[in-house]
Amino acid sequence: MHIHVLGAAAGGGFPQWNCNCFNCDGLRKGTIKATKRTQSSICVSGDGINWVLFNTSPDVLQQIQEFAPLQPGRAIRDSGIAGIVLIDAQIDHTTGLLMLREGKVRREIYCTDMVYQDLTTGNPLLNILGHYCGVNHHQIQADGSTFEVAGAPNLKFTAVALKSAAPPYSPHRNDPHPGDTIGVLIEEISSGKKCWYSPGLGEIEPHLPALMRQADCIMVDGTFWTNTEMIDMGLMTKKARDIGHNPQSGEGGMIEVLNQYPQARRVLIHINNTNPILREDSAERATLNQHGIEVAYDGMDIIL
Q: What is the pLDDT of residues 205-242, one digit of tens each?
A: 999 999 999 999 999 999 999 999 999 999 999 999 99
Which conformational region is residue 302 in: left (phi greater than 0), alpha (psi within -120 to 50 degrees), or beta?
beta
Q: What is the pLDDT of residues 235-290, one digit of tens each?
A: 999 999 998 999 999 999 999 999 999 999 999 999 999 999 999 999 999 999 99
The pLDDT of residue 174 = 86
Q: So where are the chain's domains?
A: 2-296
What share of the chain has pLDDT > 90, as a percent? 96
Q: What is the pLDDT of residues 84-95, one digit of tens each?
A: 999 999 999 999
CA separation for the pair 86, 185 (Å, rounded)? 14
Task: Assess contact for 90 and 123: CB atoms under 8 A.
Answer: no
Q: What angle do CA 278, 66, 154 make, to 5 degrees?
A: 95
The class that CATH gives domain 2-296 is alpha beta
Counting beta carbons within 10 angstroms of the beta carbon of residue 148, is it exposed (0 to 12), middle (13 to 18) or buried (19 or more)? middle
Q: What strands, in cross-sheet order, belong to the sheet with 135-139? A: 135-139, 107-111, 81-85, 51-54, 41-45, 2-7, 301-303
CA separation for the pair 42, 299 (Å, rounded)? 10
Task: Assess contact for 110 and 83: CB atoms under 8 A.
Answer: yes
The pLDDT of residue 165 = 82
Q: What is the pLDDT of residues 13-33, one digit of tens each?
A: 999 999 999 999 999 999 999
Mean of the per-residue pLDDT values of the chain: 97
Arithmetic mean of pLDDT, 137-142: 98
Nearest to 138 by CA among 82, 77, 198, 194: 82
pLDDT at residue 164 greater than cutoff 90: no
DSSP state of 48: S
Q: Omega into 15 within 30° of 0, i.e. cis?
A: yes
